[in-house]
Amino acid sequence: MCFNLSLHSIISINLVPGNLMHLYKMASIKSIISNSPAIDQVGIEERISRLTKRSIKTSSKMDALKMAISMMDLTTLDAKDTPGKVKQLCAKAIRPHESIPDIPSAAAVCVYPNMVAIAKNALQGTKIKVASVATAFPSGMSTRDIKLRETRYAVAEGADEIDMVISRGHFLMGDYNYVFDEIAAIKEACGEAHLKVILETGELSTLDNVRKASDLAMYAGADFIKTSTGKIQPAATLPVTLVMLEAIRDFYYNEGKMIGMKPAGGIATAKLALQYLVVVKETLGEAWLTPDYFRFGASSLANDLLMQIQKQLTGIYQSPDYFSKD
């Protein structure tokens, strides 16, 4: 029996009865993995080397810096998080700097599920999204039932977006059916909320695995794919991000659906952020240069972006003491 992979065929699995449905789903998931291309690591690194040598014109740099601010997911995911800290982060998301004119708001504030309602209230009347990590973040080491309950709780509290982590142990064992089913179940639990699927690429060992996990996540229902939790090193890197962007490109060509991308962790400078934007533009095109389809998960990045904007306006660098750390 021959199985042709398509998003329609994956969605239509539930229409197939009994044991045949099980066989059909297994064949479709196997097809996803087998159709993931092998990654030429040398080629990826050479392309990154070429792209990062490109410069942004001075006249366009200010627009690019402001664009990066608008793509920020300001995040606090510490054990010592308090309602006051979350409210302070929300205030910064709304107005990143008091004295710099025309600075856009951040795209989202990302918190733990028990802080969602506080963030939602603080951001009321704005277009800023509330994102919540879930599924036993950052390890993912829990039962599916608990992961689903946590997801539903975050959504009920007002989360617009859910950042889940895949079960890396199952993925690395080759248990792709488990990973696919779990992502699909979390997607269903999200309801109207968007789902970002964190691959934790620093634990996937190879670029081939990054590509397979990207493909699996998108076919299982991800609205965004995300590099990392920020708790494991290495976190986001340009080569890993390029592999994921190429997976998104191929998925769009095959299925006609745009999937978002979020590199997270390890992006601390405006220079590096602008290099990411160049790679996105050259790989996916300008349609992806919007907070709807590209985000930065790196709160420490915000201050360097603001410092660079201030430099563009005044010609001098302002002391980091003038920028809030939360």
Active site residues: 163, 226, 262
Q: Would you state the structure tokens that stand for residue 167, as one six-digit string?
A: 């079960």
Dihedral angle at the C-alpha atoms of 85, 87, 88, 90, nearest 10 degrees? 120
Dihedral pair phi/psi, residue 268, rounded to 5°:
-115, -10
Return the number of other C-beta atoms located less than 10 Å from residue 4's C-beta.
Answer: 8
- CB environment 197-228: b (16+ within 10 A), e (fewer): bbbbbbbbeebebbbbbbbbbbbbbbbbbbbb
Phi/psi for 205 (5° steps) reads 75, -45
The whole-angstrom separation of Cα 320 and Cα 245 is 33
Element (H, E) at 13: none
CA distances 265 to 73, 229, 297, Å, are: 11, 7, 6
d(CA 148, CA 160): 16
Other Cβ atoms closer than 10 A to 52:
16
- Report phi then psi at 160, rounded to 5: -90, -25
Single-letter amino acid code for the residue at 272: L
Distance (Å, rounded) from C-alpha 273 to C-alpha 222? 24
| Integer angstrom CA distances of residue 70 from 7, 96, 129, 243 | 31, 10, 12, 24
